[in-house]
């Protein structure tokens, strides 16, 4: 007997595209909600352009690897919402759903005639989560963002890098990932509130604004102490403090050293290990693991103040040792001795070499109709009574159109066929996939 | 919005007990800011995270940690020594009144005190317990030590972030700003706990959640994993822009005032876009040859990508302050942003329009300070900071006497015996 799911009987109308919105609904699907992704191939963004299609497959709407990982646990309805008939179908779907979620720029649903007031007329207790770049409120609501722009404008980019160099920033759309997670958090919060009070609401999430509180300690250092982040030695790379600059806290936790990334054997691109000592005890244990070298016995390294003063020399000495070990061997030796150390892990490392992620079944295979058996990123939590899991591969575009239009909404088979010939359910001039011909029989 | 501000938050009526160090306190803050009654339970003398700087006026003191202030808004605080029988008994009594227990102890610690989920839910089957730990409750790394930096390494964040060789030769992978491993773990812990609460609102039963910060970080690198799984590629680090399997055009340019601008141009260069770009660059008379009809040909555009981006766009940005580039470009529909230091956000009128900045009273200091506010505006039940972080044991009397019914005499005995 299968276990109950946390969001059993919850239906989500998912207008989202690209990454942040789909990353939100992926999690609602993992909790067991029925997520219906509304797509239109003429202005689809998420499946194409694809840089993650396997080398042996044609790039098309159904072969993006990243789309597959981002859109598991969903069904796909191909629907032209910009047509009167398409809008009517969307409204009938909303009438039997619990959550509407989208990440368009701020006025798109309004233009469609689907703003919150209209949604309420269709479904009075609807939970509506909008995930636009700058939100629906505020003078810059019409600004657009992708992760890197939200990260730049919010201060997140600036906090990452080496002092005196350009910002290194985040090497991906952290705020598409995290903005997406906020989308799911908001939807669940709104749903809980609805279950307790009977009231729905509009939750106006902004990707850019959601980034700002993630700089909390730096912001309070400014609003309380008047100290800005534009200062010598900041940001301090991987260190808690940059040598030769004023000694202030840099929002990385305790101001200590060693606190850095060190090269490991054999010195290739991702052969690095980070080591952090939070106390004198941890430092002394590291000295022992390193074989108690004579340099480490110098009184200048005996105290945290001394180590911070001589950090550059300390880091060079530690790296001379770390270069003699592979990053996993170094990690095991340090952790066995009670020292904080972990390897820098590439994607390959995480999928193939990380024993913890393997034990926790972080990457389980699923069969996808176009991509075959592929590992998919699992959930980072285990719920004892309602386990969350990936239970559907990402949908082919329009794969569930018949199931939803006929099965859920009660349209006739003739209506379905008409929708394919009048451009409501698939563009008239676009070639149909074989599974569409199948559903039109 | 002003009407909504007087309404209860979406989690009003919920009670969370937070037994958390620096790794999980942000999750408690999210619950508190959204209206739950979060009771932070600290060891006598206060949580060690009170010793993390920066400090008010740079004077280290457990009541002056700005890091602690930020991450512990909208909570009440009591002290309890769980390693005493009296402390354990009081925790059991509190757990009987709670909806959620959030805990971040090392795996097995609460069980060793007889305070694991099985024990706590016996008297309260509706209880949800979320254990948020660096690596989860099982597996070969379960007892490993960690830190924010360690998670950025093992989670893959560092392998994706850093510099072009031309900008910083031999650069190490760079960990993004501090605290984001904890944020990432807390976001997923929040999500899982809310899903359990939704389930409980229908099914009536609580459950136990085993959440892992390492796993949360490991899946927060966008397409890096997909690049490997589907194409066998391992991405390279690039200055201020996306990791990629091979080099991609620059997106970060230095403006006249020395600040940088993130300008997403590559991948968008159609003839139509070239026309709009020429209009933008012409606002400062810097369209160069962009109006040449040759750019109506996508092949010519492709052959001149580096000229367009590294000469024309870069020179335009270098001619103006970063904020001006940002707003001029966005007003014209370009997805560009100024790279701002956090303090610049205090002057952002958009955030003021959204009522984002909050004055938080610190009555013990006789003043208030400005805090960052909410990620989202809930129009029917506001997200707001209800109070500053608790002082050590600030609500011992209110909760232990007022709610659990201890006498003031009993409370002082507990103090003498280092239970509170």
Cβ B224 vs Cβ A172: under 8 Å = yes
Cβ separation B154–A171 shorter than 8 A: no
Question: Which of B227, B229, B254 faces A375 most closely, judged by CB atoms?
Answer: B229
Collapsing DSSP states into helix, strand and coil, what is residue A27? helix
Dihedral of CA atoms B400, B401, B406, B407 in degrees, nearest 10, equals 140
R_g (Cα) of chain A, nearest Å: 26
Cβ separation B140–A209 shorter than 8 A: no
Cβ B176 vs Cβ A159: under 8 Å = yes
Q: What is the pLDDT along chain B (420 residues), one digit of tens a residue?
A: 445 667 899 999 999 999 999 999 999 999 999 999 999 999 999 999 999 999 999 999 999 999 999 999 999 999 999 999 999 999 999 999 999 999 999 999 999 999 999 999 999 999 999 999 999 999 999 999 999 999 999 999 999 999 999 999 999 999 999 999 999 999 999 999 999 999 999 999 999 999 999 999 999 999 999 999 999 999 999 999 999 999 999 999 999 999 999 999 988 999 999 999 999 999 999 999 999 999 999 999 999 999 999 999 999 999 999 999 999 999 999 999 999 999 999 999 999 999 999 999 999 999 999 999 999 999 998 999 999 999 999 999 999 999 999 999 999 999 999 999
Distance CA A325, CA A321 (A): 8
pLDDT single digits (tens) A395-432? 999 999 999 999 999 999 999 999 999 999 999 999 99
Cβ separation B225–A351 shorter than 8 A: yes
Amino acid B267: pLDDT: 87
Across A8-34, average pLDDT? 97
| Contact residues, chain B, for A268 at CB < 8 Å | none
| Contact residues, chain A, for B184 at CB < 8 Å | 178
Cβ A93 vs Cβ A86: under 8 Å = no
Q: How is residue A389 annotated by DSSP?
A: -
Residue in A14, A69, A98, A176 annotated catalytic: A176
Cβ A219 vs Cβ B345: under 8 Å = yes
Cβ separation A270–B71 shorter than 8 A: no
Cβ separation A69–B71 shorter than 8 A: no
Cβ separation A168–B163 shorter than 8 A: yes
- Which residue bears the tokens 């709104």? A190
What element of type H or E holds A383? strand A381-383
Cβ separation B236–A344 shorter than 8 A: no
Q: Which residue of B has its CA nearest to A339?
A: B145
| Chain A contact present for B341, CB below 8 A | yes
Cβ separation B163–A177 shorter than 8 A: no
Tokens standing for B177?
């700003």
| Chain A contact present for B351, CB below 8 A | yes
State yes or no: is A176 an active-site residue. Answer: yes
Enumerate residues 26 to 55 of chain B having a beta carbon within 8 A of any beta carbon in chain A.
30, 34, 51-55
Fold of A238-263+272-343: formyl-coa transferase, domain 3 (3.30.1540)
Question: Which of A149, A195, A350 faces B202 most closely, judged by CB atoms?
Answer: A195
**Nearest CA distance, A441 vs chain B (angstrom):** 34
**Taking Cα atoms as reference points, which of B262, B100, B127, B77 lies closest to residue B189?**
B100
Q: Which residue of B has its CA nearest to A327?
A: B154
| Contact residues, chain B, for A274 at CB < 8 Å | 149-150, 152-153, 158, 175
Across A81-104, average pLDDT? 98
Amino acid A226: pLDDT: 98
pLDDT at A2 over 80: no
Cβ separation B161–A160 shorter than 8 A: yes
From-to residues of CATH 3.40.50.10540 in chain A = 11-212+360-440
User: CA torsion sign, B213 to B215 to B217 to B220?
Assistant: negative
Tokens standing for B175?
């960990």
| Chain A contact present for B333, CB below 8 A | yes
Q: In Å, what is the CA distance from B288 to each residue of B119, B237, B279, B314?
A: 73, 31, 11, 12
Fold of A11-212+360-440: Rossmann fold (3.40.50)
Distance CA B399, CA B410 (A): 13
Distance CA B159, CA B174 (A): 8
Across A350-364, average pLDDT? 98
Beta-sheet pairing, B358-362 with B367-371 = antiparallel
Question: Which of A182, A203, A345 faces B154 most closely, judged by CB atoms?
Answer: A345
Percent of chain A residues topping a pLDDT of 90: 99
pTM: 0.98
**Taking Cα atoms as reference points, which of B283, B14, B149 lies closest to residue A237?**
B149
Q: Which residue of B has its CA nearest to A357?
A: B215
| Contact residues, chain B, for A252 at CB < 8 Å | 148-149, 178-179
Amino acid B6: pLDDT: 79
Across A245-265, average pLDDT? 96
Amino acid B4: pLDDT: 63
Tokens standing for B43?
């060891």
In DSSP notation, A52-114 reads: -S-TTS--STT--HHHHHHTTTEEEEE--TTSHHHHHHHHHHHHT-SEEEE-S-TTHHHHTT-
| Contact residues, chain B, for A149 at CB < 8 Å | 262, 264, 335-337
Q: In Å, what is the CA distance from A196 to each residue of A96, B198, B202?
A: 19, 9, 10
- The architecture of the domain spanning B2-220+352-416 is 3-Layer(aba) Sandwich (3.40)
**Nearest CA distance, A369 vs chain B (angstrom):** 14
From-to residues of CATH 3.30.1540.10 in chain A = 238-263+272-343
Amino acid A394: pLDDT: 98
pLDDT at A1 over 60: no
Question: Which of A255, A338, A386 faces B199 most closely, judged by CB atoms?
Answer: A386
| Chain A contact present for B314, CB below 8 A | no
Q: Would you list the domain boundaries of chain B?
A: 2-220+352-416, 248-254+260-339
Distance CA B18, CA B104 (A): 9
Q: How is residue A13 annotated by DSSP?
A: E
Q: How is residue A406 annotated by DSSP?
A: I
Cβ separation B214–A356 shorter than 8 A: yes
- Which residue bears the tokens 């059993």? A8
**Taking Cα atoms as reference points, which of B179, B232, B229, B186 lies closest to residue B209?**
B186
């Amino acid at each position: 007997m299968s276990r109950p799911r946390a969001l059993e009987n919850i239906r989500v109308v998912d207008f989202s595209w690209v990454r942040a919105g789909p990353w939100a609904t992926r999690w609602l699907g993992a909790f067991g909600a029925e997520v219906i992704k509304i797509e239109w191939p003429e202005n689809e963004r998420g499946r194409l352009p694809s840089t993650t299609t396997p080398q042996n497959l044609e790039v098309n709407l159904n072969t993006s690897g990243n789309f597959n990982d981002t859109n598991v646990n969903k069904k796909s309805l191909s629907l032209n919402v910009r047509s009167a008939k398409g809008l009517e179908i969307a409204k009938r779907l909303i009438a039997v759903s619990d959550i509407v979620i989208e990440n368009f720029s701020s006025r798109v649903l309004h233009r469609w005639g689907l703003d919150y007031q209209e949604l309420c007329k269709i479904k009075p207790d609807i939970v509506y989560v909008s995930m636009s770049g700058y939100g629906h409120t505020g003078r810059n609501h019409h600004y657009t963002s992708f992760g890197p722009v939200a990260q730049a404008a919010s201060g997140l980019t600036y906090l990452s890098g080496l002092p005196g160099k350009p910002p290194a920033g985040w090497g991906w759309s952290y705020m598409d990932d995290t903005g997406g997670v906020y989308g799911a958090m908001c939807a669940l919060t709104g749903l809980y509130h609805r279950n307790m009070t009977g009231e729905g609401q509009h939750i106006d999430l902004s990707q850019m604004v959601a980034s700002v509180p993630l700089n909390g300690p730096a912001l309070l250092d400014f609003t309380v102490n008047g100290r800005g982040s534009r200062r010598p030695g900041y940001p301090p790379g991987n260190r808690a403090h940059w040598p030769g600059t004023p000694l202030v806290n840099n929002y990385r936790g305790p101001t200590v050293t060693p606190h850095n990334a060190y090269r490991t054997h054999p010195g290739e691109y991702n052969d690095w290990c980070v080591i952090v000592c939070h106390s004198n005890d941890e430092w002394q244990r590291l000295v022992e693991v390193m074989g108690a070298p004579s340099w480490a016995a110098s009184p200048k390294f005996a105290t945290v103040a001394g180590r911070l003063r001589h950090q550059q020399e300390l880091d060079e000495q530690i790296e001379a040792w770390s270069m003699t070990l592979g990053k996993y061997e170094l990690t095991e030796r340090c952790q066995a001795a009670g020292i904080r150390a972990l390897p820098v892990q590439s994607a390959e490392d995480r999928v193939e070499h990380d024993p913890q992620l393997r034990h926790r079944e972080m990457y389980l295979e699923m069969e996808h109709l176009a991509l075959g058996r592929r590992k998919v990123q699992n959930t980072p939590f285990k719920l004892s009574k309602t386990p969350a899991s990936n239970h559907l591969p990402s949908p082919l575009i329009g794969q569930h159109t018949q199931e939803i239009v006929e099965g859920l909404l009660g349209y006739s088979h003739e209506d379905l066929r008409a929708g394919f010939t009048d451009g409501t359910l698939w563009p008239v001039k676009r070639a149909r996939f074989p599974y569409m011909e199948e559903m039109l029989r | 919005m002003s009407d909504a501000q007087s309404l209860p938050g979406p989690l009003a009526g919920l009670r969370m007990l937070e037994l958390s160090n620096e790794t999980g306190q942000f999750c408690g803050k999210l619950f508190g800011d959204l209206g739950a009654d979060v009771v932070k339970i600290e060891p006598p003398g206060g949580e060690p995270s009170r010793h993390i700087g920066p400090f008010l006026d740079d004077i280290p003191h457990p009541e002056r940690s700005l890091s602690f202030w930020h991450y512990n808004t909208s909570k009440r605080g009591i002290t309890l020594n769980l390693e005493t029988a009296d402390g354990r008994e009081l925790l059991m009594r509190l757990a009987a009144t709670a909806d959620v227990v959030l805990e971040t102890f090392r795996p097995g610690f609460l069980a060793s005190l007889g305070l694991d989920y099985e024990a706590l839910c016996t008297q309260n089957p509706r209880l949800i317990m979320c254990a948020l730990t660096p690596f989860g409750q099982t597996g070969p790394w379960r007892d490993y030590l960690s830190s924010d930096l360690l998670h950025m390494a093992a989670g893959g964040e560092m392998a994706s972030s850093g510099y072009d060789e031309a900008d910083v030769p031999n650069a190490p992978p760079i960990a993004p700003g501090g605290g984001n491993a904890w944020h990432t773990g807390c976001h997923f812990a929040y999500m899982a706990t809310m899903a359990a609460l939704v389930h409980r609102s229908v099914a009536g039963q609580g459950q136990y959640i085993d959440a892992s910060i390492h796993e949360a970080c490991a899946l927060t690198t966008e397409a890096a994993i997909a690049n490997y799984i589907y194409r066998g590629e391992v991405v390279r680090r690039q200055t201020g822009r996306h990791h990629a399997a091979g080099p991609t055009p620059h997106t970060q340019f230095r403006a006249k005032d020395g600040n940088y601008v993130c300008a997403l141009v590559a991948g968008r260069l159609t003839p139509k876009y070239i026309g709009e770009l020429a209009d933008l660059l012409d606002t400062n008379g810097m369209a160069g040859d962009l109006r040449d009809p040759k750019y109506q040909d996508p092949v010519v555009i492709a052959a001149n990508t580096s000229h367009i981006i590294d000469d024309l766009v870069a020179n335009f940005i270098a001619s103006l302050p970063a904020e001006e580039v940002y707003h001029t470009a966005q007003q014209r529909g370009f997805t560009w942003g100024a790279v701002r230091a956090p303090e610049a956000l205090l002057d952002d009128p958009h955030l003021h329009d959204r009522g984002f900045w909050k004055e938080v009273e610190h009555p013990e200091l006789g003043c208030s300070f400005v805090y960052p506010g909410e990620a989202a505006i809930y129009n029917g039940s506001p997200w707001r900071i209800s109070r500053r972080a608790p002082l050590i044991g600030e609500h011992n009397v209110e909760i232990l006497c007022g709610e659990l019914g201890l006498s003031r005499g009993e409370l002082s005995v507990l103090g003498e015996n280092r239970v509170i």
